[in-house]
Amino acid sequence: MRFAPFVLLAALPWPSAAWDTVPHRQVTRAALESLPSCSRERLGTEAAPLVEIYCLYPDRYLEMDRYGFVRGGPGPRSAREIRAYCVRPDGELVHGISGDRAYDRKSLDFLLTRIAAALRSNHTAEAAKYAGVLSHFISDSLSPPHAVSADELNRILPEPPFPVNLHSSIERSLPALTLRPSTAAWSNPDTILDQCYFEAARNLKDLPAMVKAVYAHDEAALDIYRLRAGTRAAEILAGAMASLLAQR
């Protein structure tokens, strides 16, 4: 099923196309910290760069590939360096759900099979890099303004009382989040996709309320939606990682 209003990430303007850097790290860290210690240990020293660097790969790939922009600090220096993690073998980008379920299933299969294969062969750094892209995929799919196109978002309330970028106003930050330890584990890609689509539909329903909160400068009201999205993203990621890390 195709949801017309969903954003195709490739069409999004940069840099307001995503959760900011810190929310991606928060989601990834919360997911990893909720896993049993034996699962976390399997990532070893790669858990830290997974949180700090790898979960940003899809944004960094686009920045470098399209705009030639290389961030300062640690991490990749060229798009070519991380292309293998962010672009499927058929040449399509992996970033977040697109609304085209078949396309999204291919992206998820790409990530899950590579994480599993890398873990099986003890290539932990490879597994962690693909897991970083998986984290980004889930988080961006649940980012509230991604439920509609940028144009559609600006049409929800056509005459703003002050100049505002709705997209980045809604998703620039995320309250502190921690997950309860959970034994949930889903190995079926459709289970992951179902949850992403469900949360995106919920964001779509609540977007008018979020836009009103932006116009009212009501950060407390916005934080309720941000926290819900971030928590659910971390829970979905934790369930996927729990299943992958349990496989031998």
Q: What is the contact surface with Zn ion in residues (CB under 5 A)?
A: 18, 59, 140
Q: Give the shortest CB-247-to-Zn ion separation in angstroms.
A: 27
Q: Give the shortest CB-18-to-Zn ion separation in angstroms.
A: 3
Q: Closer to Zn ion by CB, 6 or 243: give it.
A: 6
Q: Closer to Zn ion by CB, 46 or 140: give it.
A: 140
The angle that helices 124-142 and 21-33 make with each other, rounded to 10 degrees, is 120
Q: Closer to Zn ion by CB, 96 or 239: give it.
A: 96
- Torsion 43-92-192-213 (CA) sign: positive
Q: Closer to Zn ion by CB, 94 or 193: give it.
A: 94
Q: Give the shortest CB-97-to-Zn ion separation in angstroms.
A: 12
Q: Closer to Zn ion by CB, 14 or 198: give it.
A: 14
Q: Give the shortest CB-158-to-Zn ion separation in angstroms.
A: 27
Q: Give the shortest CB-24-to-Zn ion separation in angstroms.
A: 8
